[in-house]
Chain A
Amino acid sequence: MTWLDLLIAVACVAGVLGFISVVALVAIWTERKISAHIHDRLGPMETGGFHGWAQTIADMVKLLQKEDIIPDAADKPLFKLAPYIVLSATIASFVVLPFGAHLIGTDLNIGIYYLVAISSLEVAGILMAGWASNNKWALFGGMRSASQMISFEIPIGLSLLIPIMIVGSLSMQDLVGAQAGGFWNWGVFSHLPFAMIAFIVYFWASLAEVNRTPFDLPEGESELVAGFHVEYSGMRFAMFFLAEFANMFLVAGVAVALFLGGWHAPFSFLEISAESNVILHNLVGFFWFASKGMVLLFIQQWLRWTLPRLRVDQLMHVCWKIFLPFSFVNVLIVSLWIVLTQS
């Protein structure tokens, strides 16, 4: 490790932080507008002129100025520490997300495995927040969130295994690189229909992983007020909020990288080859990656405002009795397919 490496690392983290802030700003605004339109109302219309586009910025400024209230009965050190753990786990996972051919924090050879591992730190942070708040709603929210995240990690891991087995690598860029040359080469369409089943299982399970409807029991406003972050305010609340929206993009980004061609365009003539212009090649790649991620983000929001919430037993039923058997059979069939065709 040299000083230059350190500089590059700092620049990467700064880039990730900047990116997730922008994504969160856009996503919070679209969430409000989409929810409003689905509910047949207008949503923010005034701030900034055009359809209230500056509303989130105004809210962010408000949050930054707000007093950081720490409840008297809270476990203060843990209460203060929890948002940092959640947000750092999120930022650390973004480092291996391939935004372009060279736009990647670091292309670890265990990239996707690292991502799954480091995002499990978040569970500890959420449990910490739920416990330290010393509030029954927060504790329930934290417990529900953690139990749901560790349960759904299993179908997620098994469905991510499908593209990993097909490509034969854990490196994010290898996984993306194998899907070059048009949308029919994308991960979802290989080994039809098994990779597609894996994609569907991954997408639904990832909704549970980021606590979105129909799996938003940890936050269920009508029962738990807001779940594990109910006691937080000001900057610390903003950190949870940022992590939450960043995680929505993160799970969408993983789906894009492994199943939807990553930074490759749907048709190869829409790409600029790396030989002609490296910078433009990366920018176009970034455009495609971010657009695909945003489409999945939109679907997440669309589902959130359309579907009702599951009960706890239904949630576990979906995970252990539907997703898990499907994923197991899927892994068996695809590995058999690979063994038969490759030998």
Chain B
Amino acid sequence: MAKNGATLAVELEAVSRRFQLGDLEVAALTDVDLQVAAGEFVVVLGPSGSGKTTMLNLIGGLDLPTTGRLVVDGDEITDYGARRLTEFRRTHIGFVFQFFNLIPSLTAAENVAFAAELVENEAGIAQALERVGLADRGDHFPAQLSGGEQQRVALARALAKDPPLLLCDEPTGELDFETGKMILGLMRKLNQEEGKTFMVVTHNAAIGAMADRVIYLRSGRIDRMVINDSPIAAEEVSW
């Protein structure tokens, strides 16, 4: 379901993903149909093992569905080979992870450059850091930054390629309450001011209150979806 008249950022048609674990076949995602409009801020909620991360990996081109059809930003990626998936991730997707996944041997600016130079957008490094409020912390190594700052660097890294779609996997999972809210606020700001589409996977139900739409996953299926007509500001979120 998309916002009225808006371009679709993500479209899943009967998407399933099954894993083979020894003799056991595990269905991580089963027959999922989903549409996400460009510029939408979507929160995906569900307990552990419900398929949240699997769905995010599929949309981000880190993995391919076992069956079904997957269109992201107008490109059907279902049948993409490894090379085209790499190109797709490079130009379309920004990832933000729970554990930040910064490269410890690179400074904040170099971590951002790590992504920026892939799209030859070195000029965007300083701008990306500025957008997350870390313009003066570019020379610091991850170990010299707080958790919130590290996550902001991760966000800047994702923004450096200027992707239309940002996929965030438990972005506040490792952060304290205030820092978490600050990151969420930043993400929402980027969504609203720059029109970036955000899909945020979390098990923190409180975050749903700030989303345009909340998708509930259970046992690899969409349990329900709730459209939030009046999302609250990130600062008002409480858990």
Q: Do A and B bind each other?
A: no
Report A's interface with B, CB cutoff 8 A.
none
